[in-house]
Chain A
Amino acid sequence: MIAIIDTGTGNLFNIQKVSGGEITDDIATIENADKIIFPGVGSFPFVIDKIKPFRNTLVKKIRDGTPYLGICLGLEVLFESSEEGKGSGLSIFNGSIKKLTEGRIPHIGWDTVNILKNSKLFSGIKNNTYFYFLHSYYSPVNPYTVSTTEYGNVISSSIEYKNVFGVQFHPEKSGKDGIKILKNFRDGI
């Protein structure tokens, strides 16, 4: 069973439809999950506050090797902190989330993804494919960066390390190619 983490906001339907997962904020359900998808909508401090009841469970699951896919804020919370506000991230990775500084902010719309490394998530997806972005904060390039997107700043548009995957864009809003990403996570990992 794939647990889709529910923080009380956000569109979880598309993700549920493609992944076949269960939308939940229940500790036992998260504990029993084979895979976890964390779609984040809201602000960093708001979401950090919302996940308090099951935060420890989530961290333990990720550290124990459960495949995890973070979408947008779900990627950002993997780091230690964010310039968006207070609250400690899950600290799976070192480093902090920065505010975009160039061009119009938020970075809204369809932008291309430059795939740097082989990734199971991008299996069957061509380089420079368009995906939908909707964010003001980003993870700078780090050892886990799998693809980048340039918007003044160089954004880690996806990260991957062992069982942990994150995408800054919204696959659930990115048409057929986005669905492919979700299916790759469901079937190929």
Chain B
Amino acid sequence: MLAKRIIGALDIKNGKVVKGIKFQDVKTIDDPVVLSKKYENDGMDELVFLDIFATNENRDITYNLISRVAENINIPFTVGGGVDSIEKVHKIIRLGADKVFINTFALANPEIIKKVSYEIGSSNLVIAIDAKFNGKYYEVYSNSGSIPKNINAVEWAKTVENYGAGEILLTSIDNDGTKSGYDNELIKIVSENVNIPVIASGGAGSPEDFCSAFKSGADACLAGSVFHYNIYTANEIKNYLKECGLNVRI
């Protein structure tokens, strides 16, 4: 039986993990490979490397990082953030990432989804959707959540599915970084309207948050801070999810 997935997010800048460092014991872990290995050993199902191309001048460091992760980690990983060309998509996959996510690139030219999906396979293409409730509907934002696009997230999710996206990485801009829980309403309306897997993102703080996101329709839950700050390990979350009645890989 297919297990619900826990995905660890690593924010990358210049080839290193960045997050405000609060805890002494993880202070030295800024090497993405070392942290990834720890996550893998702690029961993580997948990894996502975010904002990897935020700075263009350090592209080589980024590419080098992808191949180092690929050589050392034996669980799947997705790379994205600032991916704005087909060449980058191919290079990322070529260097060893399993999946690529694109966001602004797809919003600027939705047809690109069809092309990428054909070339790397639908299963390997993730479309990231950043959404914020505008009082009427969940609106899609581009450019790292800075530009409102006047597009309904549900409609955009349906479009990317039709164009060949294999998965949706759905981030609530409002909840991101708050540790107050996922936006379960957003998860619910998007997952009900598409037939591809939906990864919930933004707001994870407690094991209960994961459970309610899964019960709202998420196929996977992504979190950064709770793992980065060593508040919980993936296996600790999974033990709770099992009690919650969900199928997980332990």
Interface residues of A (CB under 8 A from B): 8-14, 17, 41-43, 45-46, 73, 103-112, 130, 132-136, 150-151, 170, 172-176, 178-179
Q: Are A110 and B166 in contact (CB under 8 A)?
A: no
Q: A13-B71, A104-B196, A106-B122 are in contact. List 10 more A-B contacts (CB 8 A).
A: A8-B90, A12-B96, A103-B2, A106-B167, A106-B196, A110-B249, A111-B1, A112-B1, A130-B249, A136-B166
Closest-by-CB residue of A relative to B68 is A13
Q: Are B196 and A9 in contact (CB under 8 A)?
A: no
- A108 in complex: contacting residue of B40, B74, B119, B167, CB < 8 Å: B167
Contact residues in A for B85 (Cβ distance below 8 Å) = none
Q: Are A172 and B74 in contact (CB under 8 A)?
A: yes
Q: Tell me the smallest distance from the CB of B171 to a CB of chain A, in Å.
A: 18
B123 within 8 A of A: yes
Contact residues in B for A9 (Cβ distance below 8 Å) = 90, 93-94, 119-120
Q: Mark B74-95, 1 if CB is under 8 A from A, else 0.
A: 1110000000000000100110
Interface residues of B (CB under 8 A from A): 1-5, 40, 45, 67, 70-71, 74-76, 90, 93-94, 96-99, 117-124, 166-167, 195-197, 219-220, 249
Closest-by-CB residue of A relative to B220 is A109
17 pairs, CB–CB < 8 Å, chain A vs chain B? A9-B120, A10-B94, A13-B70, A13-B71, A14-B70, A41-B93, A42-B120, A42-B121, A43-B121, A104-B219, A108-B123, A110-B3, A133-B2, A134-B98, A136-B166, A173-B75, A173-B76
Complex Cα spacing A105 to B190, Å: 15
